[in-house]
């Protein structure tokens, strides 16, 4: 089995993006990273203010509507097509719907070998990271810290609370290389 897709799932400010960058630095060949923040950034600004789009609620609870789901479905298909075309891919996502989110990715990635990685972080530590970032909505880290993992099955889990991204990346890279 040759894994060509790594899916990182964790709450806001859990360290997924830093882990993805560390993986890109450590893996022996180039891997592309696609993050949910890239999808949100590519959306028309109007969808950030509509019930049909994505609402980054002032309380930190994120809700999504039908227009967002349609764009997300197209995006996941595009990410999967990139992997099928031969580019190794790291996905940086937040499974707002837990197991249902993972199922959407499983369907998009059908036929590809995937390493599912849970990225955990203590909610207080994630909230502190969130407060230090001006681009984050307060409360997202606390809301998502456990919820995004509900019913999700992983091949590997890492905890970024006190472990630096490079060390977590070494753990993932070792798993890719077939080490325990």
pLDDT (tens digit per residue) in 55-106? 777 777 777 878 989 999 999 999 999 999 999 999 999 999 999 999 999 9
Q: Provide the residue count of the chain.
A: 180
**100-123 pLDDT tens trace:** 999 999 999 999 999 999 999 999
* Active-site amino acid positions: 37
Q: Which residues pair with 118 in a beta bridge?
A: 9, 157
Sheet harboring 5-9: ordered strands across?
A: 32-35, 89-93, 5-9, 114-120, 156-159
pLDDT band at 141 (very low <50, low <70, confident <90, very high): confident
Cα distance between residue 95 and residue 102, in whole Å: 7
Give Cα separations from 85 to 88, 97, 116 (angstroms). 9, 28, 20
Cα distance between residue 53 and residue 2, in whole Å: 36
Q: Are 175 and 156 in contact (CB under 8 A)?
A: yes
Where does the chain have alpha helices with state H? 16-26, 36-42, 66-84, 99-108, 123-131, 140-147, 165-176
Cα distance between residue 175 and residue 89, in whole Å: 16
pLDDT band at 25 (very low <50, low <70, confident <90, very high): very high
Fold of the domain spanning 5-176: Rossmann fold (3.40.50)
- Enumerate the domain spans of the chain: 5-176
Q: Are 53 and 64 in contact (CB under 8 A)?
A: yes
């Amino acid at each position: 089995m040759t894994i060509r897709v790594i899916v990182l799932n964790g709450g806001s400010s859990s360290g997924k993006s830093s882990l993805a960058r560390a993986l890109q630095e450590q893996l022996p060949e180039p891997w592309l990273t696609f993050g949910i923040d890239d999808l949100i950034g590519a959306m028309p600004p109007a969808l950030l203010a509509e019930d049909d789009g994505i609402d980054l609620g002032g309380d930190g609870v994120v809700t999504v509507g039908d227009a967002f789901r349609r764009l997300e479905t197209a995006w996941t298909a595009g990410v999967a097509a990139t992997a099928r075309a031969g580019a190794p891919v790291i996905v940086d996502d937040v499974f707002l719907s837990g197991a249902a989110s993972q199922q959407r990715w499983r369907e998009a990635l059908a036929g590809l070998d995937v390493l599912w990685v849970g990225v955990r972080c203590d909610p207080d530590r994630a909230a502190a990271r969130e407060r230090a970032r001006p681009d984050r909505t307060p409360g997202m880290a606390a809301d998502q810290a456990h919820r995004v993992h509900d019913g999700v099955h992983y091949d590997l889990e890492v905890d970024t609370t006190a472990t630096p991204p490079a060390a977590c990346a070494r753990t993932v890279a070792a798993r890719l290389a077939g080490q325990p």
